Amino acid sequence: MAGGDKVVLVTGVSRDLGRRCARAIAEHPSVRRVIGVDVVPPRGDVGDVSFVRADIRNPVIAKVIAKEDVDTVVHMSVIATPGSSGGRTTMKELNVIGTMQLLAACQKAPSVTDLVVKSTTTVYGASSRDPAMFTEDMNPRGAPRTGYAKDVAEIEGYVRGFARRRSDVRVTMLRCANVIGPHVVSPLTSYFRLPVIPTVLGFDARLQFLHEDDLRAVLQHAVASDVPGTFNIAGDGIMMLSQAVRRLQRPSIPMPGFAVGSLGSALRSARVADFSPEQKSFLTYGRGVDTTLMRDVLGFEPRFTTAEALADFAASLTPTGGRAERALAGLAERLPSTPATTDPTGPTGPTLSLAGGDSGG
- Answer whether 55's CB lies under 8 Å from 128's CB: no
CB of 314 to another protein, least distance (A): 10
Which of 203, 225, 227, 255 is the binder for another protein (CB under 8 A)? Answer: 203
Question: Facing residues of 289 across strands?
Answer: 134
Which of 24, 56, 238, 267 is the binder for another protein (CB under 8 A)? Answer: 238
Quick check: helix, strand or coil at residue 53? strand
By rule CB under 8 A, what count of residues binds another protein? 47
**Residue 42 or residue 251: which is nearer to another protein going by CB?**
251
**Residue 226 or residue 343: which is nearer to another protein going by CB?**
343
Residue type, 8: V
Does residue 164 touch another protein according to CB under 8 A? Answer: no
**Residue 190 or residue 305: which is nearer to another protein going by CB?**
305
CB of 106 to another protein, least distance (A): 34
Distance CA 279, CA 293 (A): 26
Does residue 274 touch another protein according to CB under 8 A? Answer: no
CB of 264 to another protein, least distance (A): 17
List of residues 6+ apart from 138 with CB closer than 8 A: 124, 131
Q: How far is CA 10 from the centre of its chain?
A: 17
Q: How far is CA 170 from the centre of its chain?
A: 23
Q: How many CB atoms lie within 10 A of CB 40?
A: 11
Does residue 133 touch another protein according to CB under 8 A? Answer: yes
Using CB under 8 A, which of the segments 24-32, 68-76, 214-222, 233-241 binds another protein?
A: 233-241
Does residue 202 touch another protein according to CB under 8 A? Answer: yes
Please provide the size of the chain in residues: 361
Question: Facing residues of 198 across strands?
Answer: 253
In 3D space, the residue among 299, 359, 355 whose CA is nearest the CA of residue 323 turns out to be 355
Which of 28, 57, 166, 206 is the binder for another protein (CB under 8 A)? Answer: 206
Does residue 158 touch another protein according to CB under 8 A? Answer: no
Using CB under 8 A, which of the segments 79-87, 99-107, 148-156, 328-336 binds another protein?
A: 328-336
**Residue 139 or residue 167: which is nearer to another protein going by CB?**
139
Does residue 342 touch another protein according to CB under 8 A? Answer: yes
Distance CA 225, CA 339 (A): 60
Angle between helices 147-165 and 98-108 (to 10 degrees): 10
Which of 45, 110, 128, 164 is the binder for another protein (CB under 8 A)? Answer: 128
- Answer whether 116's CB lies under 8 Å from 222's CB: yes
Distance CA 168, CA 224 (A): 17
Does residue 301 touch another protein according to CB under 8 A? Answer: no
What does residue 10 show for φ and ψ, rounded to 5 degrees? Answer: -115, 125
Distance CA 117, CA 97 (A): 15
Distance CA 124, CA 221 (A): 24
CB of 187 to another protein, least distance (A): 21
Does residue 308 touch another protein according to CB under 8 A? Answer: no
Binding site for another protein (CB under 8 A): 128-133, 135, 138, 200-204, 206, 237-240, 242-247, 249, 257, 285-286, 288, 322, 324-325, 328-329, 331-332, 335-336, 339-344, 347-348, 351
